[in-house]
């Protein structure tokens, strides 16, 4: 009796959500990611992929490939998180136990498919994809096989918006002709090593002797990969382990060069990670600050508290105490804060204000790039609008209204919409949601008081679903 493991992957998830909630973008080459000079593609629609664009590619390169037809959309994490939550709720209802790998993919081993035929598996998978499409509007692909590896490869072959089933007795026929890079775990280095000895396909790797594999790839990782190439995969489908670390980091389009800029960036990252910590429901003992310089060198420093806490001021003070600055390190392009040592039990301390004080170490002057001319000054508070990280924007301040392209907005007469363009004191808005179909476009003065920032999640138009859950701070 064959074991059936299924892998589901939401097709071009970020871009698909954008096309769903902004119907004007349907069938257009959508690029989701940062729009600054260092922006990276977080997701690309299949229309954009046809031009060679893909995730993790520099945004400027993706735009070059797609050309003038490209639609660049800044990421909306809250919308993707909400959509993912609904999708995987549906999957859990049908499959029972799932192993969610990320915001858009998971393994399943449904009890209903024990002893099933390939046709049964295909029918079950098609039904699940249909329900997801009907309830959310989002496409998905499902692969099925006798283990995780076969299922993962099969879902890739099913894309886009399809099902691919690999019975165990057809594993060699269906999987062995594929490039060895299709194996989950065969990265560029492994592929280069195999190519050097004339191994290009999964079947060629499977045909090697164990000794040849050990010599070429190593005795542990190499043998594991070799067994997977033969269809040997007994790994269980199990829920992912509880998070050991919670973090937030931002890459800035312009290098940070002052103490004030770094402190503001650290504060922002610490607060972002803290929001996730509160959702997790645990306290943290260890605070880690990560800085990436303009030359891509990374500096990381950590400090551990004697107790676990979710007190923002304590955690933020500890992060600021770990800061290093451009006069020591040079220009800084990325700032991140992470919390670890997570514990459910949190301790109330007698004098928490003592841990809320920022204690800065003496500046480090023993480094290769030079000697500091002056010591870092004290902390200076900053705001997101003062330093615009890539992929983010600000609706404005108390004194001036600032808009950015693809921002969600609300108008009392036209409802929910998104900004298609702004400049010269004019804002162009497309009013539409998932429920409206392609909407109308209108232009407004940038200081029009009727035009207000909106909650991006409202673009899903899932009022009944959202009313039934606690969305929280996504």
Q: Considering only CA atoms, which of 216, 190, 182, 147 is closest in space to residue 3?
A: 147
Backbone angles phi and psi of 110, in degrees to 5: -65, 135
Beta partners for 416? 410
How many whole angstroms separate alpha carbon 61 and alpha carbon 48? 12
List the one residue out of 176, 135, 139 whose CA is nearest residue 8: 139
Q: Is 299 a catalytic residue?
A: no
Other C-beta atoms within 10 Å of 312: how many? 16
Q: Distance between CA atoms of 78 and 211, rounded to whole angstroms?
A: 50
Which residues are within 8 A (CB) of 168 and not within 5 positions of it... i.e. 6 or more apart?
2, 145, 146, 231
> From the candidates 99, 105, 109, 390, which is the catalytic residue?
105
Q: How many CB atoms lie within 10 A of CB 188?
A: 8
Active site residues: 105
């Amino acid at each position: 009796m064959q074991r059936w493991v299924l892998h589901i992957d939401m097709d071009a998830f970020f871009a698909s959500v954008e096309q769903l909630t902004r119907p004007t973008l349907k069938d257009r080459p959508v690029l989701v990611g940062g729009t600054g000079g260092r922006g990276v593609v977080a997701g690309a629609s299949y229309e954009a992929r046809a031009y060679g664009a893909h995730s993790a590619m520099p945004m400027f390169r993706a735009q070059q490939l797609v050309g003038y037809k490209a639609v660049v959309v800044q990421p909306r994490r809250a919308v993707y998180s909400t959509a993912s939550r609904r999708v995987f709720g549906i999957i859990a209802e049908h499959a029972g136990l799932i192993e969610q790998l990320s915001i858009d993919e998971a393994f399943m081993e449904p009890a209903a498919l024990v002893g099933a035929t390939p046709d049964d598996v295909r029918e079950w998978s098609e039904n699940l994809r249909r329900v997801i499409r009907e309830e959310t509007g989002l496409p998905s692909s499902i692969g099925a096989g006798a283990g995780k590896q076969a299922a993962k490869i099969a879902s890739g072959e099913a894309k886009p918006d399809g099902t691919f089933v690999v019975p165990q007795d057809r594993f060699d026929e269906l999987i062995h002709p594929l490039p060895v890079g299709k194996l989950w775990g065969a990265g560029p280095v492994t592929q280069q090593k195999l190519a050097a000895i004339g191994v290009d396909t999964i079947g060629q790797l499977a045909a090697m002797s164990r000794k040849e594999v050990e010599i070429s790839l190593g005795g542990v990782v190499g043998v594991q990969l070799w067994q997977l190439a033969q269809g040997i995969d007994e790994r269980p489908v199990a829920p992912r382990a509880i998070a050991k670390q919670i973090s937030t980091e931002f890459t800035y389009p312009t290098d940070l060069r002052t103490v004030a800029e770094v402190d503001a960036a650290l504060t922002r990252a610490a607060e972002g990670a803290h929001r996730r910590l509160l959702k997790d429901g645990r306290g943290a003992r260890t605070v880690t600050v990560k800085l990436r310089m303009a030359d891509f060198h990374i500096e990381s420093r950590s400090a551990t508290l004697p107790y676990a806490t979710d007190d923002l001021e304590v955690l933020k003070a500890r992060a600021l105490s770990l800061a290093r600055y451009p006069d020591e390190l040079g220009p800084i392009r990325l700032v991140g804060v992470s919390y670890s040592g997570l514990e459910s039990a949190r301790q109330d301390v007698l004098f928490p204000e003592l841990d809320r004080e920022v204690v800065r170490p003496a500046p480090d002057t023993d480094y290769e790039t030079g000697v500091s001319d002056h010591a870092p000054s004290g902390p200076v508070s900053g705001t997101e609008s003062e330093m615009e990280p890539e992929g983010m924007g600000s609706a404005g301040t108390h004194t001036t209204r600032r808009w950015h392209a693809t921002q969600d907005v609300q108008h009392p007469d036209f409802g929910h919409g998104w900004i298609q363009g702004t400049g010269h004191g004019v804002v162009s808005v497309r009013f539409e949601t998932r429920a409206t179909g392609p909407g109308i476009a209108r232009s407004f003065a940038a200081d029009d008081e009727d035009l207000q920032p909106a909650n991006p999640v409202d673009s899903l138009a899932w009022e009944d679903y959202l009313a039934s859950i606690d969305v929280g701070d996504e």
